[in-house]
Chain A
Amino acid sequence: MSIIVKNLSYKYEDEEKNAVNALSFTIENGEWVSIIGHNGSGKSTLAKLLMGLLEKKEGEIYIEDLPLNENNLYEIRKHLGIVFQNPDNQFVATSVEDDIAFGLENLEVDPALMEGMIDSALSEVNMTNYKKSEPYLLSGGQKQRVAIAGILAMNPEIIILDEATSMLDPEGKEDFINVVKKLKEKGKIIIMITHDMNEALLSDRTIVMSNGEILKDGKTEEIMMDEKTLKEARLELPSALYVYHSLKKAGYNNEEVLKVLWESASKM
């Protein structure tokens, strides 16, 4: 499974400038990619374009060699799943199991198989005990895990997380990230849209966006060392990395200490 984006541009009707402008990149199987950028940099627009929720004006998107267009939208969405920022705005049904079943019903899955698929998706996100619960009564972190379960039941190869942790408390965030780590181990493509730099540190690769364009695309470690690009993208370094950079600038080169700082930044 791969995603190929070629020269992708999109402009909202009431705006003068392109929200995303001439984006080109490829994401390969099993990659965890963070897309970071300031508010209004075009990250969420890109996510919606990848899901086919916005109709692209220019450029091409291929999901496993299948071009994204109106005719094969249904087929393409079988490979993709998205978790949005606000957990409250993603639930359709009045119970967790019925909400997970919603996607399966849309895919015309045999009803006899549904319960097993729901149970297995819930167990992957450690929410088996909440099968009969009302989504409204869950905590933010639990709601997001159920949202992931709703997607996992449909078994997509690509999972997009559109600022999915931004409304969660630290505990909810940690639980959610642990689930994402498990998905990565299973070989899913994870595209994490975020402006939380600590979260971005967990990914293999980072794409920095600013004003609808890609400022830099590279290994996360390289991106985090590039203070100039991050500054240009109006992003702040994680505090531990800030100390790391300051020590390096001051000529402090104790490899052991620098290593500890780098590791602690990715655990924050």
Chain B
Amino acid sequence: MKNFVLGQYMPGDSYLHKLDPRLKIIATIVIMVAVFFLKNIYEMMGALLILIVILLSARLSILKVLQGLKPLIVLSIFVFVFQIFFNKGGEVLYQTSLSFSISSIIAIVVITFFYFFLMRYMKLKVLYFFLYVSLLFVSLKYLLYPDVYYSFNLEIYEEGMNTSLFVFFRLITVVSLATILTLTTKPTELTLGTEYLMKPLKIFKINPEEFALIISIALRYIPTILDESFKIMDAQASRGADFKQGSLTKKVGQLVSLLVPMFVISFERSDQLADAMESRNFVPGKPKTKYRALKWQTADTISLIFSLLLLGGSICLYILF
């Protein structure tokens, strides 16, 4: 739970913390759109620079924001590898020949066995994975004894490298923006801002107040439900279940044993919460007063102009280059 950064709020009194939540939501969306108008790695580097400036103005630790990217590691690696190996445009930047021989196959089997065997003892799993991939690479490159059965060329092209870095950094920028929004905005303010921004949806008969309440309750219960799931996992583990090891089929089976009690508990919880809400005179759709009021200030207007300028800039770059 402590490592779950996306959705967490970090108290502070920075410029970003003090901005109106409506502005922060709009600006986040506007800058995200601006990022999607960028076309090459150099423009993306500029966006990263602006992101760092935003981070510094929020007085947030870069490490904390990077922690928010943890759930995206697998996706990022997949996108990076896919682009680097399959995009073959421009000059060749690196070329090498990799071969399968008896010695390299044995080495791969042994390395893979030890990789999975030692997995449970490793804390830095990402670094461990990179070490594994490096060892596989060394085996395929240098272990040629006694005969080479099959060889293939590994080529990294300029375009592949550029696109993979571009896509990778775009992913980081977009997710970091969302993380900065949640790290600098109280959940209550986020809910209030969403409620306000959703007001036009009333014409489609969507009640923004109820929607905001749903978000608020969801945010409130994330830690409680996570705690619950850890308790169930501990209870299952005490009876021999291991959620970290085993084949995919076994893991799916174990996931079901976690999900079923989770659903039952969540339904019971929602029933009791509904009773608690009703007994505090909550009537869906009935008019309510508001404890918190939002206040739009000059700093919000300036920040809005800044984010619109960023969008305008990236549209210009898109059209001109």
Could you list which residues of chain A lie within 8 angstroms of chain B, going by C-beta atoms? 48, 51, 53, 74, 77-78, 80-82, 84, 86, 88-95, 97-98, 101-111, 114-115, 134-136, 150-151, 154
Shortest distance from the beta carbon of A63 to any chain B beta carbon, whole Å: 13
Q: Is B278 part of the contact surface with A, judged by Cβ < 8 Å? A: yes
Find the B residue at minimum CB distance from A101: B291
- Which B residues lie within 8 Å of A105 (CB)? 288-291
- Which A residues lie within 8 Å of B217 (CB)? 92
Q: Is B283 part of the contact surface with A, judged by Cβ < 8 Å? A: yes
Count B-side interface residues using an 8 Å CB cutoff. Answer: 30
Q: When chains A and B are docked, how far (Å) is the Cα of A91 from the Cα of B217? A: 8
Q: Is the CB of B291 within 8 A of A106?
A: no
Q: Which residue of A48, A81, A109 is within 8 Å of B289 (Cβ)? A: A109
Interface string of B278-305 (1 = CB under 8 A from A): 1111110011111111000000000000
Q: Is the CB of A106 within 8 A of B188?
A: no
Q: Which residue of A86, A94, A104, A111 is within 8 Å of B188 (Cβ)? A: A94
Find the A residue at minimum CB distance from B222: A136
Q: When chains A and B are docked, how far (Å) is the Cα of A154 from the Cα of B219? A: 25
- Which A residues lie within 8 Å of B293 (CB)? 111
Q: Is the CB of A107 within 8 A of B281?
A: yes
Shortest distance from the beta carbon of A13 to any chain B beta carbon, whole Å: 15
Q: With A84-B276, A98-B292, A136-B224 in contact, is A89–B269 under 8 Å at CB?
A: yes
Q: Which residue of B216, B224, B286, B291 is within 8 Å of A92 (Cβ)? A: B216
- Which A residues lie within 8 Å of B188 (CB)? 93-95, 98
Q: With A92-B220, A93-B220 in contact, is A102–B287 under 8 Å at CB?
A: no
Shortest distance from the beta carbon of A113 to any chain B beta carbon, whole Å: 10
Interface string of B32-60 (1 = CB under 8 A from A): 00000000000000000000000000000
Q: Is the CB of A106 within 8 A of B288?
A: yes
- Which B residues lie within 8 Å of A110 (CB)? 289
Q: When chains A and B are docked, how far (Å) is the Cα of A124 from the Cα of B180? A: 37
